[in-house]
Amino acid sequence: MNDNKQHVAVVGAGIGGVCAAAYLLSAGYRVTLLEKTKYPGGRCSDRERDGCRVTTGALMIPMGPSSAIRQAFDSLGVDMDMVDVTGRMRYRLDHGDYDLPPQGGGLAGMVKFAMQDEAEATRFLGHIKRALYDWTPLDNISVREWFDQYTDNQPVKQLFDGYCAALMGVRMHEISAYDFFLFLKHSSKGTRFGLARKGNRSLIEDLLSAFVRQGGEVRYQVSCRSIRVEDDRVTGLVVSNESGEQELIESDIVVSNLGPDATVSLCGGESLFEKSYVQKLHEHAEPVPIYHVSFVMDRPLVPDFEGCMVFGNNRNLIYLEIPSAISPGTLSPEGRYLHTAYGAPENFVTADLDEELARTVDELERNFPGFKQDAEILVKAKFSAGYPAGRRAVGRSLPVNTPITGLYMVGDGNAERGKIGTESAAASGRLASQMITSRFPLH
């Protein structure tokens, strides 16, 4: 297994890179995983703040048998230490809250709750069912435009605007109807998700511990300086290693978890890439920002609730979770409740993150009077620019493979359509491994 052609260098230990590394190691390749920081997981990790495990981005992690994340763990024989919260969803509109029923039927219940008119809701649900099972709308109209065809009901639009923002990071007018219904049809039905019992970093470290035990190599505080390309083929990497020295790592296969734009730059620029790829690189290239507020209180902000709350009654506040209530005793000191609230811009391309983050805090107070007085804010995080919530919006990603032989990209900037969030990044890692095993089979 020392043949250079069988060596894969994976750059970036976000969830896409970690899953790609796990899949490739389990397939028999010699794999080196490089990470520029001291911590794995990227936006699926956490940091300690005042004794609390504060997320670096993601909270809800897919964990069902078809999940690319679950399958990466399975490939190395690692259990996922999770608290299953599937179905524990609460939706808030101006006229009240709606909890998904444990017996199912959540979509119909959501629509009926929002529309407050049984006959109108039944008619509208008929249109949704046709979009799911008979005619999937094309990608030349937005979800909002699709809704506008069939209803003037504002609460149902507000509900699904919050749903899109909470799950996909963008609003109804910013995602195509095709991608929305593709997600509903293929990704949301039957999936299971949960909270990492001891935090995301512990979860990822469990996987990487098995990765190392089974022969993989992980190197932290190693930064990629360039990807070497000769005659349209990858030949290796130049990195700044743990000692701060320049080092050449030879490899005919490189998997980059750094995003399309950074990866192209590290290769030497767009002139090395085929024209159609470069054109695609510049289409809808805006990253998707999002922000979150993590705070602790001596009481849970929402009593007797161990799930996820989605908001359709605000301009920016879209999601709230209380990890300490879901996994007591592992994520915060005893008697202290860790909360994380997320906000999304009203328009992601023209977002004013400072103003909208401040409004998110105000909307927490409006929804939960006394929040500002009782909460101790640990982190106000804005994911934007070079470290966004998403390197491309849903439905606007680039392919995993590239015009350069041996170069693959993973992460949410290279997501398969119909996949979102952490699952989309992990699924891109699974797809990259499948492409590599096909193109560079082991002898």
In a domain, 193, yes or no: no
CATH number at residue 46: 3.50.50.60
Output the CA angle 340-341-342, nearest 5 degrees. Answer: 125
Q: How far is CA 74 from CA 228, 289, 392, in A?
A: 33, 32, 28
Output the CA angle 283-284-287, nearest 5 degrees. Answer: 130
Rounded to an integer, the average pLDDT of 280-308 is 95
What is the model's pLDDT at position 143?
A: 98
Buried/exposed code over 350-366 (b: 16+ C-beta within 10 A; e: otherwise)? ebebeebbebbbebbee
In a domain, 357, yes or no: yes
What is the model's pLDDT at position 8?
A: 98
What is the model's pLDDT at position 2?
A: 45
Strands 308-311 and 89-93, how do they pair? parallel
CATH number at residue 350: 3.90.660.50
Rounded to an integer, the average pLDDT of 267-289 is 96
pLDDT in tens, 45-101: 999 999 999 999 999 999 999 999 999 999 999 999 999 999 899 999 999 999 998
What is the model's pLDDT at position 69?
A: 98
Q: Contact, 285 vs 264, CB < 8 A? A: no
Same domain, 183 and 58: no
Q: Which of 168, 188, 208 is the last residue of a domain?
A: 188
In a domain, 407, yes or no: yes
- Of the chain, the end-to-end C-alpha distance in Å amounts to 10
Residue with tokens 């990044």: 425
Rounded to an integer, the average pLDDT of 405-434 is 96
Share of the chain above pLDDT 90, in %: 93
**Structure token pair of residue 375:** 């909460």
Same domain, 276 and 405: yes
**Secondary structure (3-state) at 151:** coil
* Number of helices and strands in the chain (H, E): 14, 20
In a domain, 15, yes or no: yes
d(CA 234, CA 436): 13
Share of the chain above pLDDT 70, in %: 98
User: Given pLDDT bands bounded at 50, 70 and 90, which one contains residue 387?
Assistant: confident
In a domain, 256, yes or no: yes
In a domain, 369, yes or no: yes
- Give the torsion sign (CA, 360, 365, 367, 368): positive
Same domain, 78 and 94: no
User: Given pLDDT bands bounded at 50, 70 and 90, which one contains residue 189?
Assistant: low
Same domain, 111 and 178: yes
Q: Contact, 433 vs 20, CB < 8 A? A: yes
Which residues form the domain of 51?
Answer: 4-83+198-284+392-439
What is the model's pLDDT at position 191?
A: 83
pLDDT in tens, 108-162: 999 999 999 999 999 999 999 999 999 999 999 999 999 999 999 999 999 999 9
**Between these two residues, 2 and 252, which has the higher pLDDT value?**
252
d(CA 126, CA 132): 10
Q: For residue 341, give the nearest of 381, 292, 297 by alpha carbon.
A: 292
Same domain, 412 and 272: yes
Backbone φ, ψ for residue 409 (5° rounding): -125, 140
Q: How many domains does the chain contain in total?
A: 3
Q: Contact, 127 vs 150, CB < 8 A? A: yes
Across the strands, what pairs with 308?
89, 321
Q: Which of 144, 161, 188 is the last residue of a domain?
A: 188
In a domain, 13, yes or no: yes
Same domain, 356 and 403: no
Same domain, 321 and 180: no
Same domain, 93 and 182: yes
In a domain, 433, yes or no: yes
Same domain, 278 and 404: yes
Same domain, 123 and 257: no
What is the model's pLDDT at position 85?
A: 95
Distance of CA 411 to the CA centre of its chain: 9
d(CA 95, CA 111): 13
Strands 30-35 and 217-220, how do they pair? parallel
Residue 209, C-beta contacts closer than 8 angstroms, at least 6 positions apart = none
d(CA 171, CA 159): 11
Q: Contact, 418 vs 182, CB < 8 A? A: yes
Q: Contact, 314 vs 321, CB < 8 A? A: no
d(CA 230, CA 282): 24
Rounded to an integer, the average pLDDT of 184-192 is 76
What is the model's pLDDT at position 4?
A: 44
Q: Which of 364, 383, 402 is the last residue of a domain?
A: 383
Q: Contact, 268 vs 230, CB < 8 A? A: no
Same domain, 12 and 99: no
Rounded to an integer, the average pLDDT of 200-222 is 98
User: Given pLDDT bands bounded at 50, 70 and 90, which one contains residue 190?
Assistant: low
Same domain, 279 and 410: yes
Strand arrangement of the beta sheet that strand 317-321 belongs to: 96-99, 89-93, 308-311, 317-321, 337-343, 290-297, 376-383
d(CA 328, CA 48): 16
Average pLDDT, the chain: 95
